Structure 1
Amino acid sequence: MKYCKKCLQPDTRPNILFDEHGVCYACLYEESKASIDWDARFNELLNIAKNAKAEAKKRGNIYECVIGVSGGKDSTFQAVYAKEKLGLRPLFINCVPDEITQIGQHNIDNLNKLGFDIKELIDGIDGVSEDDMYFYSMPDLDEMKQKGIRAIFLQYYAKEWSQVLNADFSIARGIKGRMDDDLHDIGRFTALDSDLQIANQMIKYLKFGFGFATDEACYDIREGRLGREDALWYVNEYDGLCGEKYIKIACDYLGISKDEFFRVVDGFVNKDLFYKDENGKWKPKFKVGQDFNIN
């Protein structure tokens, strides 16, 4: 188990790559931003938006682009950016997660209040026919290409994009976060629309040796908000945590007991990275940020 020499990303992340100096490619990309001609990229994006408007007008479409949204910081930023900076009229698509949280519903409703139109993808509703679902169906990829439909990755074009900016930008426009939760119960503030993801991140931690606290720390290191040493405390304090409340939510959703939940989870724990202590709790064999030889 090796860590990036600049952030705290371990090589246990599937498909992660490091250069010959032991630096992950996410850090290398962040460094490359200084040499990017952001004005040229933004002008390219403006041309894409201009073509989308012209194509929508030619086809008689009301909407000029489609954006998948959860109501969180990133999708709220994209929504307002598309409307106010690119002058587009977007249609939003939201796939409602199982057991959507009150915060998640508030944030979706907030997009409506900001003046956007949203279609919700629904499933298993009595009385809904296949014809009723026509406009909610994902078209064939080849058909999309024939129609000239293209997808873009906004982060490629928008210099402003960052975890913190997107959050501050969106909070100023009405979204709510998990500010009332103890980080020792949830491990991070994100993933607002579903409580099931908290148990998911605990399982990810036990399988790969890192959870979402590591992900957030790496973002902060790359964007200059935390030094690597300061980030170590954050990761050690919060990574992989999941409060009893959220274990119960996951068990109730799955229809299993807590004992059954942990019996299954234990089968997927990476035993090279974790051991069980005398109280039956999984503990890391490794130290965050320090390369660890797996026997």
Structure 2
Amino acid sequence: MGHDTDSLWEAPIVLAATPIGNLGDATDRLQRLLLSAEIVAAEDTRRARHLCQALGISAPGRFLSLHEHNEASRAQEILAAAHEGTTVLVVSDAGMPAVSDPGFRLVSAAIEAGVGVTVAPGASAVTTALALSGLPTDRFTFAGFLPRKASDRRRLLERLAGEDWTTVLFESPHRVAATLEEMARELGPTRPAALCRELTKRHEEVLRGSLAELAETFAQRQEQGTVKGEMVLVLGGADLAEGGVELSVEELAQQVVDRAAAGEKLKVVAKDVAEGREVSSRELYDAALALRK
């Protein structure tokens, strides 16, 4: 390998972002990594090969599947190869690996094993949707795909009810109409949101409005059978809703308990939830402790 190619592999494992729609977003670095990787670990090897064909690249490396069902076992094989000096490129179907896509378990295992890993940045549906939403971007959170299980989804919506940060979520086309209706009901009809569809593609569309307005729009589209494409939902903070109702101490304390149950520290969550509200973190902490008993 020449010096220029060597500089691509400062770590044996590189996670590289792939285009989320527009092929022009494939970086020069991604293309050179595809040309020099000895192993290409892909969420779907067929999709990865199609990407190479579209880019006019003939990737010489060995293609391995790395998806949610085999990542735990396949990670060890990849780490063993990387430990011996094999260069491994990790790609998902679209966007950044490990962000709602395979890659997290591999990175975690690589860190534990002391194997070097780095990132070749690029397209991301999360930040693209956030930038286009027109909603505050100074503080935001990413919640991934909405849970399919009703109880898990309800817990998330309870948390989002008092969330003042902008939240980015993924949803499938066949569920988005029902999700918007449920959110309008549970989070309030005036909560602002933006629904981003087919980002960076020819038919890119961003619909902005209240949850009630978006729910009505997609209910009509569902009846017409025109709900298609990849969906990213950006939800404005609770403080942006018109006539927003201030949550009670008990409701806020329940949010603290739920977040603590998910692994966060009770005191840290109490302070975070209390910020900007007419309740002290100490009062919320004590109320959360009482709920736990």
On whether the aligned pair clears a TM of 0.5, the verdict is: no
Question: Which structure dedicates a bigger proportion of its chain to strand?
Answer: 2
Q: What TM-score do the two structures reach when normalised by structure 1?
A: 0.32
Work out which structure has the larger RCO, using CA pairs closer than 8 Å and 6 or more positions apart in sequence: 1
Q: What TM-score do the two structures reach when normalised by structure 2?
A: 0.32
